[in-house]
Amino acid sequence: KCLEKTRQKEQKYQEKYDKCKNKAVEKKAYYLNKAEKYKDKAEEKYKKCSALIVKRQIKNIQKCKRDIDRCVVKIRKKCGGENTPL
């Protein structure tokens, strides 16, 4: 009887562990997906910036660069640290 109770407890904990592990995997996928979206946005802004460089609109270029930097910082924070390579 004691052995059976122990088994039931083990099974319960295993189920809890599995649920927790699955949630962690889902969250990781969610954040990676979000980071990809940020990266795409940053690339889009970078392309727009390149066009501005051609037009030599320096004020806009600087603002655009700040936007990209901000975006990169967001990506790095979400993906685990300041020094995370993109």
Q: What is the pLDDT of residues 3-60, one digit of tens each?
A: 777 788 888 888 888 887 888 888 888 888 888 888 888 888 878 777 766 666 666 6
Q: What is the reported pLDDT for 61?
A: 64
Residue 19 amino acid letter: K
71 vs 61, higher pLDDT: 71
> Is the model's pLDDT at 75 over the cut of 80?
no
**Burial of 79 per CB tally in 10 Å (0-12, 13-18, 19+):** middle
| Cβ atoms < 10 Å from Cβ of 75 | 19
